[in-house]
Chains A and B, each alone.
Chain A
Amino acid sequence: MNTLRVLGGIVINSVERVGRAAMFLYEVLLGSWELLRRFYLVVQQVYAVGVLTLLIILVSGLFVGMVLGLQGYNTLVKFGSANSLGLLVALSLVRELGPVVTALLFAGRAGSALTAEIGLMKATEQLAGMEMMAVNPVTRVIAPRFLGGVIAMPLLTALFSAIGVMGGHLVGVGLLGVDAGAFWSQMQNGVDFHDDIMNGVIKSVVFGVVVTWISVFEGYDAVPTSEGVASATNRTVVYSSLAVLGLDFILTALTLGEV
């Protein structure tokens, strides 16, 4: 009986949280509208969320591409189709690894920082202070961070994939001796702009919205104590990662859904 009650409590709580998060998103979107006139606030956040995440994205992208080159070569060479290495590297990056790994890294690097920052602003009464100065913190603090994340994610993803392809080229052509011409031409023949690249771009936009949304909401909804902020940061990383992986499956299933 008690277990059932606990279960019910959990369900009610989570539904309430989802509801609050949805209301919050609506408010943030309203606030984003007003930000078009003060775009510098967004630019600042693109710097904080995007530029400062750049290094980890570039390094990871390079290594993921290089590993794909090595692994792919070893498998493909068994079938005598090492020339398709470029295709394999590019497709894996553009369709899957680029958007997903970028989103996961983004959640860990930028998302957790966003949550902690907003949570601490709440804990130190900075948000309340703004409210009392007749400044809406959702418009002034949350919306620029949200837009910054949404803008930065597709760009970071593109950079990740692009540098990953270079990494694959470095290993495949430079180290393992795959023919450079074949590497690129197979890639160009196999990678379709609409089906593969746009698919990746759409994924990155969706992930950008979801991860940033979770990050700012967890920060805004955090219990204003150091423990509360810590657990909110933790939740951001866990929920974002789960959401990214789950959505990735759904988006892939939708786009692959034959033809």
Chain B
Amino acid sequence: MNQPSHSTPDSDVLVDIRDIHFTYGDRPILKGITLPIRRGKVTAIMGGSGCGKTTLMNLIGGRIKPSRGTLTVDGESVPDLRTRELFELRKRMGMLFQTGALLTDLSVFENVAFPIREHTKLPESILRKVVLMKLETVGLRGARDLMPSELSGGMARRVALARAIALEPMMIMYDEPFTGLDPISKGVIAKLIRQLNQSLGITSIVVSHDVAETCMISDYAYLVGDGRIMGEGTPTEVQKSGSEHVRQFMDGLPDGPVPYQYPADDYVTDLTRSIA
């Protein structure tokens, strides 16, 4: 199962991704990614849009299977799990979707209560306490009776976060947690990610292209581009990296290894070409 690799597998690694390939139709999305994620740390996965970050999350969550390579979470090989075992594993994983993915027909309270109601048989009085505690963690205890449509983007994401920690998972995956938020909300989410990681010891995976916020909260960062790992290290190491690819991403240069131009014919010939 395990192949020789530059990092030895140890119990410190919660999610072990080795040489993962993934092809969507004929299009290769991931071309051999090795990406160990350590327990109790905040790991950032950064990269441009469409570089396969979300695919990586779906692979970890077992929603899709890799074409090649091994992927274990807490020692269990995710692609080989049967549905029932996969569901058991997912109860120990939280995931925060970009849109929040709150159930629109349930109130804030019921949304947070949802995973608890589905998976446990807690009596209503205890359930209420648990839910209010989770809501208090994200500072939205007062918003319990609102419907998701009445929440702002940042609040919706905080409710989703409260829901993700409802079952006290061992890890949480954040899919673009900062996208589309105002600076205050960004700060709140960043603080929450850090705080949850420290107080509950939850392993966190932050997939994002917001360089500043992500570097601020993460312990270790991977830079993904073109289906490969382009760079890795602590945020400071990554920021100082000399790699052209890493530089382009970190500094937000319009042109570089990731070309500005979508592949096309020569501009002049294209313009002067007569339409047959």
**Do any CB atoms of chain A lie under 8 A from CB atoms of chain B in the complex?**
yes
- The answer on a CB contact under 8 Å between A124 and B88 is no
- The answer on a CB contact under 8 Å between A134 and B91 is yes
- The answer on a CB contact under 8 Å between B97 and A125 is yes
Asked if A128 is at the interface of the complex by the 8 Å CB criterion, the answer is yes
What's the least CB distance linking B84 to chain A, in Å?
Answer: 10
List the one stretch of B24-32, B114-122, B205-213 in contact with chain A. Answer: B114-122
- The answer on a CB contact under 8 Å between B87 and A132 is no
Count residues on chain B whose CB falls below 8 Å from chain A CBs. 23
Count residues on chain A whose CB falls below 8 Å from chain B CBs. 15
Contacts of A135 in B (CB 8 A): 114-115, 118-119
What's the least CB distance linking B96 to chain A, in Å?
Answer: 9
Q: Which of B93, B99, B104 contacts A132 (CB 8 A)?
A: B93
- The answer on a CB contact under 8 Å between B114 and A132 is no
Asked if B128 is at the interface of the complex by the 8 Å CB criterion, the answer is no
- The answer on a CB contact under 8 Å between B63 and A128 is yes
Nearest first, the 3 A-B pairs at minimum CB distance are: A129-B101, A134-B90, A125-B101
Binding site for B on A (CB under 8 A): 120-121, 124-126, 128-136, 140
Contacts of A126 in B (CB 8 A): 101-104
In Å, the complex CA distance between A48 and B104 comes to 15
- The answer on a CB contact under 8 Å between A128 and B97 is yes
Task: List 27 A–B pairs whose Cβ atoms lie within 8 Å, in order of A's numbering.
Answer: A126-B101, A126-B103, A128-B97, A128-B101, A129-B95, A129-B101, A131-B61, A131-B63, A132-B61, A132-B94, A133-B90, A133-B115, A133-B118, A133-B163, A133-B167, A134-B87, A134-B88, A134-B90, A134-B91, A134-B118, A134-B119, A135-B114, A135-B115, A135-B118, A135-B119, A136-B87, A140-B118
Contacts of A140 in B (CB 8 A): 118
Q: Mark B152-189, 1 if CB is under 8 A from A, else 0.
A: 00000000100100010000000000000000000000
Interface centre among A121, A129, A135, A136 (most CB of B within 10 A): A129
Asked if B197 is at the interface of the complex by the 8 Å CB criterion, the answer is no
Contacts A124-B104, A126-B102; A132 near B63 (Cβ below 8 A): yes
Asked if B98 is at the interface of the complex by the 8 Å CB criterion, the answer is yes
What's the least CB distance linking B115 to chain A, in Å?
Answer: 5
Contacts of A125 in B (CB 8 A): 97-99, 101
In Å, the complex CA distance between A136 and B167 comes to 16
What's the least CB distance linking A247 to chain B, in Å?
Answer: 32
What's the least CB distance linking A220 to chain B, in Å?
Answer: 15
Q: Is the interface of A mostly helix, strand, loop or mixed?
A: helix
Contacts of B93 in A (CB 8 A): 132
Binding site for A on B (CB under 8 A): 61, 63, 87-88, 90-91, 93-95, 97-99, 101-104, 114-115, 118-119, 160, 163, 167
Q: Which of B90, B91, B99 contacts A124 (CB 8 A)?
A: B99
In Å, the complex CA distance between A144 and B163 comes to 23
Contacts A134-B88, A136-B87; A129 near B118 (Cβ below 8 A): no
User: Who on chain A is nearest to B57 by CB?
Assistant: A132
In Å, the complex CA distance between A131 and B57 comes to 13
In Å, the complex CA distance between A130 and B163 comes to 11
What's the least CB distance linking A238 to chain B, in Å?
Answer: 27
- The answer on a CB contact under 8 Å between B101 and A124 is yes
User: Who on chain A is nearest to B92 by CB?
Assistant: A134
Contacts of B101 in A (CB 8 A): 124-126, 128-129
In Å, the complex CA distance between A38 and B167 comes to 21
What's the least CB distance linking B219 to chain A, in Å?
Answer: 24
Contacts of B90 in A (CB 8 A): 131-134
What's the least CB distance linking B162 to chain A, in Å?
Answer: 13
User: Who on chain B is nearest to A131 by CB?
Assistant: B63
Contacts of A128 in B (CB 8 A): 63, 97, 101
Contacts of B118 in A (CB 8 A): 133-135, 140
In Å, the complex CA distance between A158 and B263 comes to 63
In Å, the complex CA distance between A130 and B94 comes to 11
Contacts of B88 in A (CB 8 A): 134
In Å, the complex CA distance between A104 and B102 comes to 33
In Å, the complex CA distance between A135 and B98 comes to 19
Contacts of A121 in B (CB 8 A): 103-104
In Å, the complex CA distance between A134 and B62 comes to 11
In Å, the complex CA distance between A135 and B137 comes to 24
In Å, the complex CA distance between A129 and B101 comes to 6
